[in-house]
Structure 1
Amino acid sequence: MIKEVLGNFIENLKTAKNYPFILVIATTDVSLIPGITVAGASPELTHFTPAADAEFLVLGKCKVINTVPITPDGIPTPALVTRASLSFTRVTKLVVNAGSRILPKIPFIDVGGKPGGDIRKYSLDLETTERIIENSTLLGEELSNTFDLLVIGESIPAGTTTAMAVLQGLGYDAIDKVSSASPNNPKELKRKVVLDALKNLPSNTLEKISKLADPMLISVAGISLGFKGKILLAGGTQMTAAAAIIKEFNKEKLKDIAIGTTKWIVKDKCSDIISLAKQVGVALIYADLDFSTSKHKGIRVYEEGYVKEGVGAGGASILAMINGAKNEDIVRRVDEMYSELLISKN
C-alpha cells in the first residue's frame, strides 16, 4: 500500500506513461569518519558501496567487490529491495556518476563531478559544483524529450550527514532530524561534524552548497531543475536536502516533485522526515512495507530499524505497487534474490 503524508502526488504516478529509474552515485570523505555510517563493512569500504550498488541494480551481481555491500553486522544493501521491486516494472535503469571514488564496471552517464571532500574543510570547489549543476540540468532537459516522469534514487554513504549540513546551512531546522542506516543513529557525532562544517560559512548560496553538499545532492537537484515533467525523489531524509537545493534555484519546481520513501523512514523515532519535508515544502509519500515475514534475518531486521532506505528502495517499491505488486509479492521476490546471493556466496 502507498500512503500520502504531504501533498497529492500518487495520481501522477498512476497516469505516467513513460519513466526511467535513475540511480545517482557519489562518495564523500565524510564516510571515512569512524562510526558515522554503517553503509559498508568498514569506513574504507564505504567508497566501494555506490559503485557496487549500481552494478547490483543493473546486473544482479557486483564487480568492484566480490559480494554485495553489507553493514558491519552483515545486513545486505537495500539495492536488493530496489532490484526486486523494479522486477515488477518495465522501467529503464540508468546510472549517473556524480562523483564516485570507485567507478562501476557497467555503462553509466558521467556529469563531470568528483568525490566530495570532508565538509568540515570543504566538499567541492565552486567550478566542480557549477559543472555538476550545468551538466545535470542538461541531462534533465534531454530526458524531458522521452519521459514524462523521473524516479531518482541515490547511493552515497554518510549522505544523511551532508544532507543535515545543507539543510541547516540553508536555514532549516535540521539538527538531529536526519535518519541513519543503523537503529542507533549516531546523532552526537553527526551534530559535531555538521556544526564544525557550518563555521565560517560563505554567504553566497552556491558557495554554501559547494562547502556542505555532496556531489549526489547537487546532481539530483540539477537533473530535477532541467526536467520538464514530474519527479519522484526516491529516498529518505537526504532527498529533503536535494529538494531544498532545488528550491533555492526554482521554488516553483517543487510543485512537480514528491519524495517517495519507506515506512521505516517515516516512522523512525530517531529522525523526522515529515518536519523536514514540511519546512522545505515538498510532497511526501511512502511504501507501507512489512518485512517481518521474510525467510531471512538479514531482511527481517528492517523491522528493527536497520537500513530503512537507500538506492531508491522506497521509490522502487512504490513503482512496484503502482504496477499491482503487493507487500507479500515484494517480500517473496526479495527472499528469492537474497537466497540466490547466499548460494552464490557459498
Structure 2
Amino acid sequence: MRLMLVAGTTRTAAVDGISAAGATPELRWHTPSADAELVRYGRLVRSSFVPVSPTGCPTPALVTRAVVELLGLDVVVCDGGLAKPTGAPTVGFGAKPGHDVRDPDPVPTAPGAFAAAKAFAERLNEDHLVVGETIPGGTTTALATMRALGEPYPVSSSLSDNPLARKEELAEAALAASDLAPGESAHHPELAVRFAGDPVLAVVSGLAVGALESGTRVTLAGGTQMVAASALVRHAGSVAPLELATTSYVADHVDLAPAARDLDLDRTVTDPGFADERLSEYATVGREGAAMGGALALAQRAGALDAVEGRALALLDSLVGDGVSGDTDGDREGTRGP
C-alpha cells in the first residue's frame, strides 16, 4: 500500500474569502510545498513555516504524518503544479501551477498531466493506493469542475463559514470565461479540469483511473475535492469500486450521501475524537486536507486511532521547538535537511 500526496497550486486561492489554507494569500502559495515536507519527513526542509489558518489552526498534514509514523506508511509526493520548491522528493507529471479559474484556460497542462498520471499508476503494481491532496483554493476549483461535468454537488470549506454562494459565482464565471455551458464537459474529464479546475485534480483523477484499470484498490483521501475527483473518474468511464475516506468534520459540514450514492462510492467517515484545542479546531476550520481523512481511516482499521492525537501534538511541539511557525513572511527557505 502507498499513500500518495498530490501537492499543487492555483491562483484561485488568492481570491478573498474562500480559503483558510494559509495565514495570508501569499503564504497559501507556499502551503502545499510545506505540507509535502511534513507528510514525507515530519519536519520542514526547504520551507520555513508550518502552514496555519488565519486563526492559527495547524495544517492537517501533521495528523497525516502522525499516522504515517504510527503505521509505517510508504509516502510518495506527486508534483501537481507546485509554485514553490519543496524539499520532499516528488514524482512529476508535467503539471504546472493553475491560473485563476476565471481565466479562459486556467489549467492548460491538465490533459497531459492526467494522461501521464494514469500511465504511471497503471504500472505501479500496488494492492492499495491512498491518494490525497493539498491545494489552497481547491474546493472552489472542485465546484467549478463539477459544474463543467454537470454534477450538482456542493463543496465544503476550510473556513468556519462556507462561502458557497461566492464559490458558485466563481464557478459560473469560470465556465463563462471558457465558453462552457454547465455539463458541456460531461465524459471529457481532462477538458473539465483544463477549463474549470486545477492541476491537482488532473493528477489525482489520472492516478485513480490508472490504478483502478490495473486492478488496484483506490481510496480517495479527502472531502469534497475528492468528490470532484470521483466524478472525474466516473466521467472517464471507470466503474470499478472506489472509496472516499474523509473526516467527520467534513461529513458534519456537507451532506456527502447524494454524491456517494450517485457516483457509487464506498464512503468512510472517521471521527478522530481530538480533545486538545490545537487539533479540535479542525471541527470548524480546516476540516480536511493533506490526506487526513484517509490516514485516519487507516489508523482506525489498524487499531491505532487513539494514538494519533498524541503523536500529532508531539510533532507540532517539535516544530515549535525548532523555532518554526506560521508567522514568517514565507520568502525564506530553511536549511534543515531531511
Shifted more, 30-39 versus 56-65: the winner is: 56-65
* Distance of 2:220 and 2:12 partners within structure 1: 23
8 Å Cα contact 1:136-1:226 kept in structure 2 = yes
8 Å Cα contact 1:179-1:272 kept in structure 2 = no
* Distance of 1:208 and 1:342 partners within structure 2: 41
Q: Counterpart in 1 of 2:227?
A: 240
Partner residue of 2:278 out of 279, 284, 298 = 298
Letter in structure 1 aligned against 2:155: V
Note the 1:1-346 alignment, pairs <5 A. Answer: 19-121=1-103, 122-125=105-108, 128-144=109-125, 147-174=126-153, 177-199=154-176, 200-201=179-180, 203-204=184-185, 205=188, 206-227=190-211, 228=214, 229-253=216-240, 255=241, 257-268=242-253, 271-291=254-274, 293-294=275-276, 297-303=277-283, 305-326=284-305, 328-345=306-323
Letter in structure 1 aligned against 2:163: P
Counting aligned pairs with the same residue, the percent is 33
Q: How far 1:186 moved relative to its partner? A: 1.6
Q: Counterpart in 2 of 1:4?
A: none
- Tell me the alpha carbon deviations over residues 284-336 of structure 1, each in whole angstroms, 9 at most, x when there is no partner: 11112211x22xx3212123x1111100001111111222213x311121222
* Distance of 1:91 and 1:330 partners within structure 2: 14
- Tell me the alpha carbon deviations over residues 207-249 of structure 1, each in whole angstroms, 9 at most, x when there is no partner: 3331012111111111111112110100001001111111111
Q: Paired residues, what number?
A: 313
What is the root-mean-square deviation of aligned Cα atoms in Å? 1.5
Q: TM-score, normalised by structure 1?
A: 0.86
* Distance of 2:72 and 2:42 partners within structure 1: 16
* Distance of 2:255 and 2:151 partners within structure 1: 13
* Distance of 2:30 and 2:46 partners within structure 1: 7
Query: Structure 2 vs 1, CA of residues 143 and 181 (structure 1 numbering), >3 Å: closer, same or farther?
Result: same
Q: How far 1:45 moved relative to its partner? A: 1.3
Partner of 2:80, secondary structure, is strand
8 Å Cα contact 1:237-1:276 kept in structure 2 = no
* Distance of 2:118 and 2:192 partners within structure 1: 19
Q: TM-score, normalised by structure 2?
A: 0.88
* Distance of 1:242 and 1:249 partners within structure 2: 11
8 Å Cα contact 1:20-1:151 kept in structure 2 = yes
- Tell me the alpha carbon deviations over residues 50-85 of structure 1, each in whole angstroms, 9 at most, x when there is no partner: 010001111222234322111111111000110012
Partner of 1:195, secondary structure, is helix
* Distance of 1:70 and 1:64 partners within structure 2: 17
* Distance of 1:248 and 1:41 partners within structure 2: 35
- Tell me the alpha carbon deviations over residues 173-231 of structure 1, each in whole angstroms, 9 at most, x when there is no partner: 12xx2111111112232121111112220645243331012111111111111112110
- Tell me the alpha carbon deviations over residues 18-66 of structure 1, each in whole angstroms, 9 at most, x when there is no partner: x011000110110011111110111111111101000111122223432
* Distance of 1:310 and 1:183 partners within structure 2: 15
Q: How far 1:278 moved relative to its partner? A: 2.4
| Structure 1 residues not aligned, in runs of 5+ | 1-18
8 Å Cα contact 2:21-2:136 kept in structure 1 = yes
Q: How far 1:162 moved relative to its partner? A: 0.7
| Structure 2 residues not aligned, in runs of 5+ | 325-338
Q: How far 1:344 moved relative to its partner? A: 2.1
Letter in structure 2 aligned against 1:102: K
Letter in structure 2 aligned against 1:300: S
Letter in structure 2 aligned against 1:223: L
